[in-house]
Chain A
Amino acid sequence: MRTILPFGPQHPVLPEPIHLKLVVEEEKVVEALPNLGYVHRGLEKLTDIRDYNQMVNIVERVCGICSCIHALNFCEAVEEMMKIEVPQRAHFLRVMWSEIHRIHSHLLWLGLFADGFGFESLFMQLWRIRERSMDLMEATAGNRVVISTNIVGGVRKDITEEQKTWILAEIDKIEAEVRQVEKTLLSDYTVKSRCCGKGVLTKEQAHQLGAVGPCLRGSGWAQDARMTGYAAYGQLDFEPVVEHDGDSYARCVVRFREVYTSCDLVRQALAKLPGGELAAKFKAKPEGEVWRRVEQPRGELFYYIKGNGSKFLERVRIRTPTFANIPPLLAMLPGCDLADVPVIVLSIDPCISCTER
């Protein structure tokens, strides 16, 4: 007998509201239908009444977790449109802040994931490590999450030599502490039995359905927008993390290993940090069309911007990674047990406020 079960918009594992209609046949999911639109805020439309400098602060609020990377993408797009030469120091500082953001986002997700399958103490442990990355942002930029450091033309804040040493020491501590919980999360029998083979997305499916980020890399595709070399990534040594199983466990491993890559990238960026100006001066007004993509913790983030020569942009279109990852999620769910649905839904790292903007 077929039954339709509502999953969300309010559900203990969901930090944000998404509604899934689960068609269930004897505890097995047959079909899942999503329903979006609970937290639509109309942020793209605000471009009519806020100029492009104010829009930087607005796009930062699209996502509460990867705010810095949204601003980075928007600024890079506007800079490309206005042909502004950004100073090298600003590029490296942007990389540093985005990677600290990635560390905090991945640790947040790993904690939520642990909580999703009922491992409360590991959740606390991971969030405690995450607190170090929050401190890094608060001390260098002035806020814990929405750090507002990117501006069109460069960055607003600089780091001192003492801060540089302190950041490197903290990054070492984060890495050591994450390494301590690695075995617990990745080799534990109970954890594996909850994640291995659950929500499998094959390599072909991942490509056809347009998965992005850890979802795509967990299915064996070595594709990461950081490879395109935006900001200072082109000057840093970087290899995307790839896993081949395509299940929830593989996606978890990708994110876990990406924390190490991010630590490494922060170290590289600080080692190569050049001196000089923080922001370029410019006088142009945005005109023309530009699209740009960067890698967010959740995957590829896409911005399309159209300017008409005035200080107000004509159109800002944002495609967030979760939006691209919903079709793969719908392909993962059929065939799984009802009890595994929370873990599978969490495994794509859903950020619904992002998706609905």
Chain B
Amino acid sequence: MFEMTRNVLKNLMGKYSTRLYPFDTREPFERFRGTLDINVEECIFCSTCAKKCPSQCITVDVKNRTWTCDSFACVYCAVCVESCPTQCMSMYPVTKPAAGEKSLIFYQGAAKIKKPKAEKPA
């Protein structure tokens, strides 16, 4: 019956085992997958991420060069980050903040610079 007494006393006298979240937050672990982002300047709009994504939350418009992610459908598995051929996507160890309404992560890439065609000899 008294086995718990030691624990009870320790809990009463010791430090709090919980935090006053969100005022006091813990340092996140280095590998924690919290938020997804893309460096759109390096993106080649190959759609590999959109094809590999298990929750199909990424849409890549090759023609208009846009990259859209529904962060509320994303499951933070980091499959896209690993499969990206240019390594331009990354996961940050920051918890996604709570939101009042759904929003999309949208990026517009710069227009593709067309290679000048070799001029035909006249």
Contacts and interface: CB of A to CB of B under 8 A. Distances in A.
A142 B1 contact: no
Given A139-B31, A142-B33, A188 B1 contact: yes
Given A55-B54, A57-B54, A57-B55, 4 more contacts: A53-B52, A135-B29, A139-B31, A187-B3
Given A50-B54, A188-B1, A189-B1, A148 B31 contact: no
A83 B91 CA distance: 33
23 contacts: A50-B54, A54-B53, A54-B54, A56-B54, A57-B54, A57-B75, A57-B79, A61-B75, A121-B8, A122-B4, A128-B17, A139-B29, A140-B31, A142-B29, A142-B31, A143-B32, A146-B75, A156-B82, A157-B31, A180-B6, A181-B4, A188-B1, A189-B1
List of 8 A-B pairs having minimum Cβ-Cβ separation, nearest first: A57-B54, A54-B54, A183-B3, A142-B33, A139-B29, A142-B31, A184-B3, A148-B77
Contacts of B4: 121-122, 125, 181, 184
A353 to B, nearest CB: 16
Contacts of A56: 54
B45 interface: no
Contacts of A189: 1
B64 interface: no
Interface of B: 1, 3-4, 6-8, 17, 29-33, 52-55, 75-79, 82, 91
Contacts, number: 56
A262 B77 CA distance: 26
Interface string A42-72: 0000000010011111100100000000000
Contacts of A204: none
A30 interface: no
A239 interface: no
A56 B4 CA distance: 43
Contacts of A53: 52
Contacts of B30: 139
